[in-house]
Structure 1
Amino acid sequence: MLQAPQRTALSGPALIRLLARLADVDVPESRQSLSDRLSQWLGWTDAIALSSVLNGNPPAGSAGTREFGSAEESEYVRARSSLAKTITGDSVFAADRRRGPARASAHASLQSAPAEPAADYAVFRQRYLSIQQSMEMAIGNLRGRLRGMLATRTPGMARLAVVDAVMERALSERERNLLAAIPALLAGHFERLRAAEQAALVAAEASDQATDDTGSNIAGNAAALAPGAWLNVFRKDMQSVLLAELDIRLQPVEGLLAALRAS
């Protein structure tokens, strides 16, 4: 009842596949190559800067630099773990465990239970944006440090560091705008889950009323439903989206780490 309908399998990053499922939309596969899409995203000044780096003489590496080792690997692991714990341990996304098992009488449980405050999506949206800012800052700082280390290696690695800096500068605003649109997509999922539960409760109460009118003692259908369960489903889904977004944001860092291991 509370699960989003299954869609045709979509290739690509987990974040895209997850958003397509939760937004309840079919997303056609892009027919553009990565190079074609990047050519649309890069402005002419970015293209000139990138061309200068790729076609010019590579920067000279520095001699006597500290070797890449476990310290940098550990820093990456700590940063990733810290951000993941921020997402999974956030109180806004914590499941409400106060809901007990279904009670025997559907009407008694639904009528006597105190009314819960209406869930406000604005709270979830603000927390999502706040965690996005934390990810952007922490990952940006780590990316810069790794890029600085890469710049002290061979001329080829120094060139790669400059290319990464140019690409970050060119794409950061577009990335920020695209990722900032995710909360709006999740707002629709929030409302659909809430509406689905409300419809199910109304249908169950109607079924129970019909059963009562016949004098049957069969346990009510509404008693089997836990009002508000949809919100825990949404919390879990929002956490999953944030974790998938974290994977996307860390890809440039993982690329720099791979280059450092090979240098």
Structure 2
Amino acid sequence: MAQAALRPTLRGPTFIRLLARLAEIDVVASGQPLPDRLGQWLDWKHALSLAAALDGHPAAPEAAEPAADGLHAECARAREVLATAIKDDPLLAAGHAPADGDYAVFRQACLARQRAMQATVGRLRGKLRDALQGSPGMARLAEVDAVMEVALTPREHALLAKVPELLEQRFERLRVAGRASTTWLDGFRRDMQSVLLAELDLRFQPVDALLAALRTS
């Protein structure tokens, strides 16, 4: 208990804090400034594309942009659909039939939710970038977002692919501690649901940023 009390409080996204807690590890915040860390994630081709997007002069839009109000509503609906699918998933409901000690069904559910989030967020970012073509400043922002999506998506995939593995480790620790009882399974379901909802919030951050820019355009 004393050792746990001495653990530093981890600051950052809820998603990271949840994973650190479930994995029972101490995560130390990086002392590197964000631009330095970002430089390590971009190869020279992506760096050149980013520089071109920042320094370029976007062309005037050739077609009318989608209505901002409609896009705000669409993004909100899409997010709610994903969140509801996680909250109402029968597999994650308390009291659901046990998984016979097998994590595989939970892994498949986690991967399915992650694929749905990825597809939805990618589609929304594309629509929002199209909507930001009305002014040179906003069009430049849209180009930067497009470059960043291409550059950082592989790293994002690699990092988020670890979520099912971390959840499996949590599953096994709870299963061993729970032994003959099945109450541990409901605790795991709550943990998995919380992680997926936090991941949804994390994945929607670029969408939220583009929506904020659209409000000011």
TM-score if structure 2 supplies the norm length? 0.92
Partner of 2:182: 228
Partner of 1:123: 105
> Does the 8 Å CA contact 1:68/1:260 hold for their aligned counterparts?
no
Helix, strand or coil for the counterpart of 1:28?
coil
Q: Alignment partner for residue 143 of structure 2, among 144, 158, 162? A: 162
Written as runs of structure 1 = structure 2, the 5 A alignment for 1:85-164 is: 85-96=84-95, 118-151=100-133, 153-164=134-145
Query: Structure 1 residues 62 and 242, CA, compared in 2 at 3 Å: closer, same or farther?
Result: same
Partner of 1:172: 153
> Does the 8 Å CA contact 1:46/1:166 hold for their aligned counterparts?
yes
Q: What CA deviation, in whole Å up to 9, does each residue of 1:196-237 have, x standing for no partner?
A: 222xx6xxxxxxxxxxxxxxxxxxxxxxxxx20000000110
Instruction: Determine the C-alpha separation between the residues in 1 that align with 2:65 and 2:93.
Output: 43
Instruction: Determine the C-alpha separation between the residues in 2 that align with 1:135 and 1:67.
Output: 22
Q: Percent identity?
A: 53
Structure with a larger share of its residues in helix? 2
> Does the 8 Å CA contact 1:68/1:261 hold for their aligned counterparts?
no
Q: What CA deviation, in whole Å up to 9, does each residue of 1:222-258 have, x standing for no partner?
A: xxxxx20000000110000000000010000011101
Q: Which runs of 4+ in 1 moved over 6 A?
A: none
Partner of 1:31: 31
Partner of 2:74: 75
The AA in structure 1 aligned to 2:136 is: P
Partner of 2:203: 249
Written as runs of structure 1 = structure 2, the 5 A alignment for 1:51-62 is: 51-56=51-56, 58-62=57-61
Number of positions where the alignment pairs a residue of Structure 1 with one of Structure 2: 213
> Does the 8 Å CA contact 2:65/2:130 hold for their aligned counterparts?
no
The alpha carbon displacement at 1:150 in A equals 0.7
Helix, strand or coil for the counterpart of 2:204?
helix
Query: Structure 1 residues 185 and 78, CA, compared in 2 at 3 Å: closer, same or farther?
Result: same
Instruction: Determine the C-alpha separation between the residues in 1 that align with 2:213 and 2:70.
Output: 16
Structure 2: unaligned runs, 5 residues or longer: none
Instruction: Determine the C-alpha separation between the residues in 1 that align with 2:54 and 2:65.
Output: 26
Instruction: Determine the C-alpha separation between the residues in 2 that align with 1:83 and 1:67.
Output: 23
Superposed CA RMSD in Å reads: 1.9
Instruction: Determine the C-alpha separation between the residues in 2 that align with 1:117 and 1:243.
Output: 22
The alpha carbon displacement at 1:84 in A equals 0.2
Instruction: Determine the C-alpha separation between the residues in 2 that align with 1:22 and 1:94.
Output: 19
Question: Is 1:260–2:214 an aligned residue pair?
Answer: yes
Query: Structure 1 residues 81 and 190, CA, compared in 2 at 3 Å: closer, same or farther?
Result: same
The alpha carbon displacement at 1:68 in A equals 3.9
Instruction: Determine the C-alpha separation between the residues in 2 that align with 1:183 and 1:19.
Output: 11
